[in-house]
């Protein structure tokens, strides 16, 4: 097993969509670099977009919003005003927010598949303004059966083209004091309000142990961008040439695809169609 496998788990295999969509290469490691390169396979885009659309609905749509949409659609259909269903905003329409949310969803689903961990709550369910980026940790997952085994905290970035600057920004947010998650208290509060008070108390205990260094913490950076024959526009090469970190438990995952903006547009269009249906 590679050091990347030890920290973030093995790359998912088919029939998981990530096994069908991406090839995986764990690049040679050093004291300052652990990099997993994922690249898009030809012919897998449509199935991937279909799955991403379903995830986007799941991550954005609460049960309350679902019921509101169903009631509103019935009323609007009755009065032949179905075009106004667009005014019930569930998915973001701002491109920057869409990219950020999609990156978070992709990374959460990756760690769920590779490690079997759970996020406990969908952070986007609690966003008061769907067109603004939700504050808090991008990715925060736990080993539900053994909470003290490990916590995974990560940050995702989506860029049409990669750059040393965005890589450095992401890595800098996962080093030193910044490598510790900030939203465990928020998650615990939500769980407590839902009546899961024992789990909420356990998470607060884990939070203190993380600060004291008593629970292992793994950090993941996720850069979703373009692959290209031009090294400066190829996310794999940009990460390989520029990744350096003081955090020995940080793995950067680069994902290279053709025309990443197209994935955003198509996935949100299909998610919107699912909601309207």
At 81 the pLDDT is 43
At 275 the pLDDT is 83
Measured distance CA(28)–CA(211) in Å, rounded? 30
At 137 the pLDDT is 92
Q: Name which of 45, 37, 198 is nearest 206 in CA terms.
A: 198
Could you tell me where the DSSP H helices lie in 120-174? 164-172
Measured distance CA(160)–CA(162) in Å, rounded? 7
Positions of E strands within the chain: 22-26, 35-40, 139-142, 151-158, 217-226, 250-257
162 and 255 Cβ atoms separated by less than 8 Å:
no
139 and 108 Cβ atoms separated by less than 8 Å:
yes
pLDDT band at 150, cuts 50/70/90? very high
**Least confident residue range of 76-85, 129-138, 256-265:** 76-85
Checking DSSP bridges between strand 151-158 and strand 139-142, what pairing results, if any?
Answer: antiparallel
Tokens of 25: 């290469």
Please determine, for residue 33, whether its predicted confidence score (pLDDT) is greater than 70. Answer: yes
Q: What's the average model confidence in pLDDT over 155-183?
A: 96
Q: What's the average model confidence in pLDDT over 253-269?
A: 97
At 153 the pLDDT is 98
**Least confident residue range of 55-69, 110-124, 230-244:** 55-69
Query: Which of the two residues, 72 and 95, has the higher pLDDT score?
Result: 95
Please determine, for residue 63, whether its predicted confidence score (pLDDT) is greater than 90. Answer: no
Q: Name which of 8, 34, 183 is nearest 110 in CA terms.
A: 8
Instruction: Please state, for a pLDDT cut of 90, what percent of the chain lies above it.
Output: 82
Q: Name which of 10, 38, 41 is nearest 24 in CA terms.
A: 38
pLDDT band at 276, cuts 50/70/90? confident
Digit-coded pLDDT (tens) for 205-239: 999 999 999 999 999 999 999 999 999 999 999 99
**Least confident residue range of 14-28, 69-83, 181-195, 208-222:** 69-83
At 84 the pLDDT is 43
Report DSSP state, residue 249: T
Measured CA to CA in angstroms, residue 215 lies from 114, 121, 228, 247 at distances of 20, 21, 40, 15
Instruction: Please state, for a pLDDT cut of 70, what percent of the chain lies above it.
Output: 90
Tokens of 98: 């869409």
Measured distance CA(186)–CA(200) in Å, rounded? 10
Q: Is the pTM of this model over 0.75?
A: yes
Please determine, for residue 189, whether its predicted confidence score (pLDDT) is greater than 50. Answer: yes
Positions of E strands within 14-60: 22-26, 35-40
């Amino acid at each position: 097993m590679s050091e990347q496998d030890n920290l973030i788990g093995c790359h998912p295999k088919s029939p998981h969509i990530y096994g069908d969509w991406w090839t995986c290469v764990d690049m040679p490691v050093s004291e300052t670099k652990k990099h997993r390169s994922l690249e898009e396979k030809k012919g897998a885009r449509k199935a991937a977009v279909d799955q991403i659309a379903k995830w986007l609905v799941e991550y954005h749509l609460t049960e309350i919003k679902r019921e509101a949409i169903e009631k509103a659609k019935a009323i609007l259909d009755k009065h032949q005003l179905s075009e106004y269903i667009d005014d019930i905003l569930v998915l973001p329409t701002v491109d920057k927010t869409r990219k950020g949310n999609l990156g978070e969803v992709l990374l959460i689903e990756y760690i769920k598949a590779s490690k079997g961990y759970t996020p406990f709550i969908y952070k986007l369910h609690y966003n008061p303004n769907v067109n603004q980026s939700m504050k808090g940790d991008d990715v925060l997952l736990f080993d539900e059966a053994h909470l003290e085994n490990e916590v995974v905290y990560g940050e995702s970035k989506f860029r049409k083209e990669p750059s040393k600057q965005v890589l450095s920004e992401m890595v800098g947010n996962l080093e030193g004091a910044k490598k510790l998650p900030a939203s465990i208290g928020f998650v615990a509060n939500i769980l407590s309000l839902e009546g899961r008070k024992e789990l909420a108390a356990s998470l607060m205990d884990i939070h203190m142990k993380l600060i004291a260094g008593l629970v292992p913490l793994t950090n993941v950076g996720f850069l979703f961008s373009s692959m290209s024959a031009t090294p400066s526009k190829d996310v794999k090469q940009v990460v390989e040439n520029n990744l350096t970190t003081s955090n020995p438990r940080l793995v950067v995952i680069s994902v290279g695809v053709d025309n990443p903006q197209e994935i955003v547009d198509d996935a949100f269009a299909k998610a919107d169609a699912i909601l309207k249906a």
